[in-house]
Structure 1
Amino acid sequence: MSGSRIIAIIIVALIHIGMGYALVTGLAYSAFKEAVERVTTVDIEEPPPPPEEEPPPPPPEQEVAPPPPVAPPPPINVAPNPPPVRVQPNIPPPAPISRVVPPPAPPAPAAPPPPPPAPDLSRPAQPEGQARWQRRIIENYPSRALRREIEGTVGVSVTIGADGRVASCRVTRSADPILDEAACDDMRRYARFSPALDRSGNPTSGSWATNIVYQIN
């Protein structure tokens, strides 16, 4: 490419650049001018202040009634000379005070004597028909003891209930196991008693002791 052609191209490019700058600048200015024209100026006017209120008229003066007439006080008569004061030189002694002594109170009545104690009605248990039921016990001699010819005396202590029957029995003197067992069994079966009584006379439990003699005739 020759030098003259290069210079021509550069000149053409500069012309295009200048024209573009001018075009852009003109368009920006026209847009700015159009925007300014569209702006509407608004003037805000402040309202006038309200008129000042006139002060109310003063109230009418009320007529004050004159005070009622006051009568002058009556004159006070002052005695020039007060009456003389009598002084009694001897003052009589006061009258003695009489004391009234009340009569003595009557003596309090004597307390009633305590009631006598209730009679003691207690008593121990007592056998009823002892000879009869004791004979039945002897006649009921254990057969085993008879065959072996065992004899002896058995001591027993029994507890009698409120019904007069033997409630329990224990051997206090042993003779032989056969006779000991037979003695307690027969006491429960045949023995009868009048039950023991407490202080009020009511039946209660009691105890009784005896010896049973077993002897072969």
Structure 2
Amino acid sequence: MAYADQQMSSRRVVALILVAALHALVGYAFISGLAFNVIKKVAVDTKIVDVQEPPPPPEQKPPPPPPDQKVEPPPIVAPPPIVQTQTLTPPIVAPPPPLVQAPVIHETAPPAPPAPRISQAAGAKGDPSQWITNDDYPPGAMREGREGTTRVSWTINEQGKIENCQVTQSSGSPDLDETACRLLTRRGKYSPAKDQNGQPMRSSASRSIRWTIPKD
């Protein structure tokens, strides 16, 4: 019984294989035949169409020229009248007369009178050496032992008096210089100088005073 079942199973397998092979063969034949029919159908339906280009259009002749038309010239228009303007002539201005300069009169001053010159010198009245003596020595300068020489100048007026006494060289001690001018102005007397006409006139004089402390 088992042997019979085994034999039946083998036959069934072989039958199934054959059936499958048959189906495959039929499917292949069907597919191959269908593809051939489709290709044949497409080949039959495809037609070659020869497309021809349309012929070029005929050449068009240019239109004939228009007939000659007479062009009338524009009407002649007269130009406007010329308006003449009056040109004003500028007035002629005469040049101004030349300036006449008045003559310059240089007034000359009359010549100054000649300066008076001394015809007669002033003369001292008395002994000029006595106008300042050792008794007039300033006490301060004597105590301090200061000595020196004072140079002075002065003016003699028309009355013979001494004016404007000035120290031209100092002794180095202001009190000695001041004493010299003060005593000369107070004690000095002159006869005034005279010009060429015999008139009194101013003059000047100068001297040196030597200040020396007296020795006992």
One fold, TM greater than 0.5?
A: no
TM range (shorter): 0.3 to 0.5
The normalised TM-score by structure 2 is 0.42
Rg larger in 1 or in 2? 2
